[in-house]
């Protein structure tokens, strides 16, 4: 699964080439930080976890077997590092109540999203995702923003692809609850501005 380019980079890092490691960090630093921020909800802690992730990556890169993509392996290191930090901090995560949605309500939310300009929609969704529990926001980020497959996510978090599918469904329901409560006031404000 490892590409030739990745394998060359790994070999250079194992041989002690610090420039090769800098290249690897540059390739993945934004994604690792974003994932850490989603899980930890704290910028400073996310920065520390991102650093820890790359330290762990550097120390154990010779153990990378190549049975998955290099990016998948790095995401897994980041995920486990975040879990360690959460356990260490013993944070209590918000739990969003899941309400049953009718098809009409979900369609109404979709229509409401379409009426908000693209940038505002993206920001609103990001804000709402940030209010979800860590694992939920992490999974949604991997699936929708990083376009990873269920199998790739399964390798990162260490549970079956079917379990990921179920978790993503629940995450979307939680997100729909949050979107409904947070976007409806924005849409009302949008219409009030338009009528002036």
pLDDT tens figures, 2-56 = 677 888 888 898 898 889 899 999 999 998 998 888 888 889 999 999 999 999 9
* Arithmetic mean of pLDDT over the chain: 78
Number of domains the chain contains? 2
Count of other CB atoms within 10 angstroms of residue 102: 8
* 53 and 121 inside one domain: no
Q: Does 155 reside within a domain?
A: yes
Residue 102 has pLDDT above 50, yes or no: no
Per-residue model confidence as pLDDT tens digits over 141-170: 888 878 888 999 998 889 999 999 999 999
Domain final position from 57, 89, 121: 89
- Assign residue 122 the CATH number of its domain: 1.20.140.160
Residue 94 forms part of a structural domain: no
Domain hosting residue 28, numbered range: 4-89
Write down which residue in 89, 116, 140 finishes a domain. Answer: 89
Clarify whether residues 128 and 176 are in a common domain: yes
Residue 175, in any domain of the structure: yes
Instruction: State the Cα–Cα distance between residues 180 and 67, nearest whole angstrom.
Output: 41
Give 166-169's long-range contacts (Cβ < 8 A, gap of 24+): 167/135, 167/136, 167/139, 168/139, 168/140, 168/143
Q: Which residues of 141-166 are buried (b: 16+ CB within 10 A; e: fewer)?
A: bbbebeebeeebbbbbbeeeeeebee
In a domain, 13, yes or no: yes
Same domain, 134 and 62: no
Q: Are residues 139 and 173 in the same domain?
A: yes
Contact 115, 69 (CB under 8 A): no
Cα gap 10→64, rounded to integer Å: 9
Last residue of a domain, one of 89, 112, 129: 89
HEC assignment per residue over 159-185: CCHHHHHHHHHHHHHHHHHHHHHHHHH
181 and 111, same domain (yes or no): yes
What global pTM score does this model have? Answer: 0.59
Residue 68 domain-assigned (yes or no): yes
Both 77 and 116 in one domain: the answer is: no
Among all chains, which residue has been given the structure tokens 């049953």? 100
Q: In terms of domains, do 74 and 112 share one?
A: no
In a domain, 95, yes or no: no
| Closest listed residue to residue 156, CA positions, set 43, 47, 28 | 28
d(CA 50, CA 36): 7
**CATH at 75:** 1.10.1740.10
Tell the residue number behind the tokens 């209590």, with chain if given. 92
Task: Verify that 57 and 108 share a domain, yes or no.
Answer: no
Q: Are residues 110 and 82 in the same domain?
A: no
Q: Which of 36, 69, 50 is nearest to 135 (CA)?
A: 36
**In angstroms, rounded to a whole number, what is the distance separating the alpha carbons of residues 144 and 88?**
29
Q: Is 36 helix (H, G, I), strand (E, B) or coil?
A: helix
Contact criterion met (CB below 8 Å) for 105 and 61: no
Residue 98 falls within a domain, yes or no?
Answer: no
Q: pLDDT higher for 177 or 102? A: 177
DSSP classification of residue 91: P
> Do 143 and 153 touch, CB atoms closer than 8 A?
yes
Q: Per-residue pLDDT for 178 more than 90?
A: no
**Claim to verify: residue 31 and residue 75 sit in the same structural domain:** yes
């Amino acid at each position: 699964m490892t590409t030739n380019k990745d394998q060359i980079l790994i070999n250079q890092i194992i041989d002690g080439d610090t420039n090769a490691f800098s290249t690897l960090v540059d390739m993945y630093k934004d994604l690792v930080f974003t994932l850490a921020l989603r899980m930890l909800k704290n910028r400073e802690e996310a920065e520390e976890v991102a650093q820890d992730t790359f330290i762990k990556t550097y120390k154990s890169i010779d153990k990378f077997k190549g049975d998955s993509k290099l990016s998948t392996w790095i995401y897994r290191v980041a995920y486990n590092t975040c879990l360690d930090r959460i356990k260490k901090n013993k944070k209590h995560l918000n739990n969003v109540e899941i309400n049953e949605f009718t098809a009409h309500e979900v369609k109404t939310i979709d229509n409401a999203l379409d009426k908000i300009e693209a940038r505002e929609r993206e920001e609103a969704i990001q804000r709402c995702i940030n209010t979800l529990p860590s694992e939920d926001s992490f999974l949604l980020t991997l699936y929708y923003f990083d376009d990873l497959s269920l199998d790739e996510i399964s390798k990162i978090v260490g549970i079956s692809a079917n379990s990921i599918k179920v978790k993503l469904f629940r995450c979307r329901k939680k997100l729909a609850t949050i979107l409904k409560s947070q976007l409806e006031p924005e849409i009302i404000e949008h219409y009030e501005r338009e009528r002036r």
